């Protein structure tokens, strides 16, 4: 809403970084290298640039964390949640550069936490096959985060497209889309996951598809409601009068104006998706061995019912809980702040 | 009201017909028939089978008829109360599923019996005075317990209560007949995960009621505070939690899968996963239909109940 005749006010660097464009660029810098690293590891390794890809993500993560902390100062819940989440994101982008043992190399089975062997110390012990737990835990967050974020993002794109169509264009499209989403919503989520993954086979990409099927209808409902609410506002009428294409109105006018509730829901949904991926991997329907993953770590030692070795279960359980707690607290804090404004 | 119920029931039948048809078509693919063969006969013997033998095997299982014929047969059987036969257990589906549903039903009963009073009390105490110490601590506990996924809660409880203190058995396979002690850990896991959500919903509803005019009036008239809460506030504050609690049935059907698998409890969720991994079409069909039925029914009950309880909706 700046007056065009006035010169633009001079902004400090921090303020400039807090503008939406800068935030989006930073988030892309943070997420894309990580996604590329995990999903296309082999072609990147052949080109000899697997580790180099992650380098831009490290400063991007740190800058985003600093910006988040400075703008969430009013809510300690959001600060706590954000710190937990950014801790794991930072671990995910920097883990190849940390001095850790190979997470897939069996060294010495059943070593208790703190065992020393020669010049190496197993701070968190080793698992059944003798792989270092500390390094498996830290590497494990990469896959959970990457697949969780990708699956949520895809579900959001699909849900938003259908929600905008159902809400803004309405009519027969609304009827069709709403019926399909009602059918999908009448499944208990886990039943839907099991059916889809059983049909497609267990893999990361299929988890993305399954999460999309399970979450997109709920997202579609939220977006549809918001679009219905907003489409009678003046700014939409103004855009219609200007003769803008419906597609442009939906994506450029409506979507940015309903982003508040969507961002809060996205945080919560990231948590759900992380739970779902860990649970599915535990059930044997998700990510496949040997690469470390929290659900897989639980699955491998789930029947080891001895107190002495319970650290093998506790470590991944606490790791996944802390990440989800982070997402939920962040969502809580963001909601609190948006209500206050 | 009756019209509403009738419309929802009709919608449910439509949804279930669509779902069962999709499932039939999906599981009719050659890949799935092979999966059943591999699961039953072993990978080697299937690979060594000639095409003719494979066709004979399909025929013996009744899988060689076209999908629409099988679907028609299955629907016909369903109307007579026959769900078909389990390939894995070689027994009627209704018998296999009946046992498992009963086990999960007992589990669900105890979960609800514990969760409802616990979450309502916590929610009401928190919502009575918004922003107070008890409110903030209940909200924090609720976020905390809901953030720990079931699988992690199950692990923490097992390690602390079963392995560390040795009070309870770690697994609930019930190998030596029914044993109620083995039910405690699965029930606790589900209650701990779910109560936070219902408590927060109750809190929100209670907090909203407490800010309303008629509560202020009642307090200013000098009615004892306890009476204001019990008589005036609760009646309106409990409408929203009612719908939330009924909808938890749907969630429970998802939640039981991982808990039952972890604790090796022979219930509905474990059966569904086993059937899906085996490719046991009729069991999956029946289980999915039951799950969808319960889910849709709980939605109808919550909608109708909400309309019934809330006069503002009923009369407008």
- Digit-coded pLDDT (tens) for A208-226: 999 999 999 999 988 888 8
Which chain B residue lies closest to A179 (C-alpha atoms)? B15
**Minimal Cβ distance to A188: which of B149, B262, B291:** B291
- Under the banding of pLDDT at 50, 70 and 90, the label for residue A4 is low
Contacting residues of B for A282, CB less than 8 Å apart = 151, 258, 261-262
Task: Convert the pLDDT of each residue in B160-175 to its tens digit.
Answer: 888 877 777 777 777 6
- Over residues A106-116, mean pLDDT: 73
Cβ neighbours for B38, distance < 8 A, ≥ 6 positions apart: B46
Judged against a pLDDT cut of 70, whether residue A6 lies above it is answered with no
Check CB contact of B141 with chain A, cutoff 8 Å. Answer: no
- What token pair was written down for A144? 């959970």
Task: Convert the pLDDT of each residue in A162-201 to its tens digit.
Answer: 999 998 888 888 889 988 888 888 888 888 888 888 888 8
Contacting residues of B for A78, CB less than 8 Å apart = none
- Under the banding of pLDDT at 50, 70 and 90, the label for residue A322 is very high
Subunit contact B288:A191, Cβ cutoff 8 A: yes
Higher pLDDT: A42 or A153? It is: A153
Check CB contact of B161 with chain A, cutoff 8 Å. Answer: no
pLDDT at B22: 82
Contacting residues of A for B19, CB less than 8 Å apart = 183, 186-187
**Minimal Cβ distance to B272: which of A191, A284, A298:** A191
Q: Tell me how far CA of residue A18 lies from CA of A1, A28, A249, A256, A276, in angstroms.
A: 17, 15, 25, 16, 32
pLDDT at A133: 79
Q: What is the C-alpha separation between A146 and A41, in angstroms, rounded?
A: 13
Å between A328 CA and nearest CA of chain B: 7
Residues in chain A, total: 341
Judged against a pLDDT cut of 50, whether residue A106 lies above it is answered with yes
Q: What is the DSSP letter of B212?
A: S
Q: Which long-range contacts (CB under 8 A, 24 or more apart) does A132-136 make?
A: A132/A100, A132/A101, A132/A102, A132/A103, A132/A107, A133/A311, A133/A312, A133/A315, A134/A100, A134/A101, A135/A100, A135/A101, A135/A102, A135/A103, A135/A292, A136/A103, A136/A292, A136/A297
Judged against a pLDDT cut of 50, whether residue A1 lies above it is answered with no
**Minimal Cβ distance to B254: which of A191, A284, A310:** A191
Higher pLDDT: A2 or B150? It is: B150
Subunit contact B148:A324, Cβ cutoff 8 A: yes
Subunit contact A325:B144, Cβ cutoff 8 A: yes
pLDDT at A264: 81
Classified as helix, coil or strand, B73 is helix
- Closest by CA to A37, choosing from A96, A101, A88, is A96
- Under the banding of pLDDT at 50, 70 and 90, the label for residue B299 is confident
Subunit contact A283:B258, Cβ cutoff 8 A: yes
- Over residues A60-80, mean pLDDT: 86
Mean residue pLDDT across chain A: 83
**Minimal Cβ distance to A191: which of B150, B291, B296:** B291
* Peptide bond just before B142 cis, omega within 30 deg: no
Contacting residues of B for A317, CB less than 8 Å apart = 151-152, 155-156
pLDDT at A5: 57
**Minimal Cβ distance to A314: which of B23, B147, B159:** B159
Judged against a pLDDT cut of 80, whether residue B121 lies above it is answered with yes
Higher pLDDT: B111 or A188? It is: B111
- Over residues B222-226, mean pLDDT: 86
Subunit contact B15:A279, Cβ cutoff 8 A: no
Å between A200 CA and nearest CA of chain B: 10
Task: Convert the pLDDT of each residue in A19-43 to its tens digit.
Answer: 778 888 888 888 888 888 888 877 7
Judged against a pLDDT cut of 90, whether residue B65 lies above it is answered with no
- Under the banding of pLDDT at 50, 70 and 90, the label for residue B314 is low
- Under the banding of pLDDT at 50, 70 and 90, the label for residue A7 is low
First to last CA, chain B: 12
If phi > 0 it is left, if psi is from -120 to 50 it is alpha, else beta; for residue A3 that is beta
- Closest by CA to B252, choosing from B195, B175, B315, B178, is B195
Task: Name every residue in A having a CB less than 8 A away from some CB of B.
Answer: 182-183, 186-191, 194-195, 198-199, 271, 275, 278-279, 282-284, 295, 298, 302, 305-307, 310, 313-314, 317-318, 320-321, 324-325, 327-329, 332
Q: Tell me how far CA of residue B304 lies from CA of A105, B71, B120, B236, B245, in angstroms.
A: 58, 33, 21, 16, 14
Subunit contact B257:A283, Cβ cutoff 8 A: yes
Å between B231 CA and nearest CA of chain A: 31
- Over residues A11-25, mean pLDDT: 77
Cβ neighbours for B304, distance < 8 A, ≥ 6 positions apart: B1, B4, B5, B8
Check CB contact of B296 with chain A, cutoff 8 Å. Answer: yes
pLDDT at A13: 74
- Under the banding of pLDDT at 50, 70 and 90, the label for residue A96 is confident
- Under the banding of pLDDT at 50, 70 and 90, the label for residue B93 is confident
Enumerate residues 231 to 270 of chain B having a beta carbon within 8 A of any beta carbon in chain A: 250-251, 253-255, 257-258, 261-262, 269
pLDDT at A84: 92
- Closest by CA to A168, choosing from A74, A245, A86, is A245
pLDDT at B256: 84
Task: Convert the pLDDT of each residue in A238-290 to its tens digit.
Answer: 888 988 888 888 888 888 888 878 888 888 888 888 888 888 888 888 787 77
Chain A contact probe: residue of B30, B151, B189, B197 with most A CBs at under 10 A: B151
């Amino acid at each position: 809403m700046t007056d065009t005749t006035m010169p633009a006010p001079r902004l400090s660097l921090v303020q400039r970084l807090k503008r939406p464009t800068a935030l989006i660029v930073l988030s892309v810098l943070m997420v894309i290298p990580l996604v590329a690293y995990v999903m296309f590891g082999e072609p990147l390794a052949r080109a000899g640039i697997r580790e180099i890809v992650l380098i831009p993500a490290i400063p991007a993560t740190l800058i985003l964390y600093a910006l988040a902390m400075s703008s969430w100062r009013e809510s300690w819940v959001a600060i706590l949640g954000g710190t937990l989440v950014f801790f794991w994101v930072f671990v995910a982008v920097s883990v190849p550069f940390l001095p850790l043992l190979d997470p897939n190399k069996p060294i010495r089975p059943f070593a208790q936490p703190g065992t020393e062997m020669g010049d190496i110390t197993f701070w968190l012990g080793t698992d059944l096959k003798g792989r270092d737990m500390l390094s498996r835990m830290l590497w494990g967050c990469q896959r959970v985060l990457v697949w969780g974020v990708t699956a949520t993002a895809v579900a959001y794109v699909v849900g938003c497209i259908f929600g905008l169509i159902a809400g803004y264009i309405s009519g027969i499209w609304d009827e069709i889309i709403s019926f399909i989403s009602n059918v999908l919503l009448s499944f208990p989520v886990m039943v839907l996951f099991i059916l889809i993954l059983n049909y497609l086979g267990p893999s990361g990409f299929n988890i993305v598809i399954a999460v999309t099927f399970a979450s997109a209808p709920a997202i579609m409902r939220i977006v549809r409601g918001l679009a219905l609410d907003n489409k009678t506002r003046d700014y939409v009428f103004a855009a219609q009068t200007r003769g803008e294409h419906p597609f442009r109105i939906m994506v450029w006018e409506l979507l940015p104006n309903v982003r508040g509730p969507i961002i809060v829901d996205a945080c919560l949904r990231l948590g759900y998706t992380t739970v779902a991926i860990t649970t599915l991997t535990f059930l044997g329907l998700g990510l496949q061995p040997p690469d470390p993953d929290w659900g897989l770590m639980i699955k491998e030692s789930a029947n080891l019912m001895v107190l002495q070795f319970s650290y093998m279960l506790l470590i991944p359980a606490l790791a996944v809980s802390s990440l989800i707690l982070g997402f939920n607290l962040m969502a809580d804090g963001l909601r609190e702040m948006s209500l206050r404004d | 009201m009756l019209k509403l119920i009738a419309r929802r029931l009709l919608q449910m039948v439509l949804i279930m017909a669509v779902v069962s048809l999709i499932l039939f078509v999906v599981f009719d693919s050659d890949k799935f028939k092979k999966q059943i063969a591999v699961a039953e006969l072993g990978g080697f013997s299937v690979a060594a089978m000639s095409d003719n033998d494979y066709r004979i095997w399909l025929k013996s299982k009744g899988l060689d008829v076209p999908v629409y014929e099988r679907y028609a047969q299955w629907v016909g059987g369903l109307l007579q109360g026959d769900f078909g036969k389990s390939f894995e257990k070689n027994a009627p589906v209704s018998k296999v599923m009946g046992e498992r549903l009963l086990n999960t039903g007992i589990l669900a009963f105890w979960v609800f019996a514990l969760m409802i009073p616990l979450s309502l009390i916590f929610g009401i105490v928190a919502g009575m005075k918004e922003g107070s110490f008890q409110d903030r601590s209940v909200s924090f506990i609720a976020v905390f317990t809901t953030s720990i996924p079931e699988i992690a809660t199950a692990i923490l409880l097992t390690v602390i209560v079963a392995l560390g203190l040795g009070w309870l058995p770690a697994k609930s396979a019930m190998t030596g007949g029914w044993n109620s002690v083995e039910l405690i850990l699965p029930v606790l896991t589900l209650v701990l995960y779910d109560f936070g959500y219902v408590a927060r919903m109750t809190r929100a509803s209670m907090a909203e009621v407490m800010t309303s005019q008629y509560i202020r009036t009642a307090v200013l008239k000098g009615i004892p505070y306890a009476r204001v809460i019990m008589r005036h506030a609760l009646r309106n504050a409990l409408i929203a939690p009612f719908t939330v609690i009924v909808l938890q049935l749907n969630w429970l059907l998802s939640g039981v899968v991982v808990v039952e698998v972890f604790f090796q409890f022979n219930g509905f969720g474990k059966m569904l996963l086993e059937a899906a991994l085996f490719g046991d079409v009729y069991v999956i069909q029946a289980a999915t239909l039951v799950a969808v039925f319960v889910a849709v029914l709980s939605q109808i009950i919550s909608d109708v109940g909400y309309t019934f309880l809330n006069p503002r909706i009923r009369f407008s």
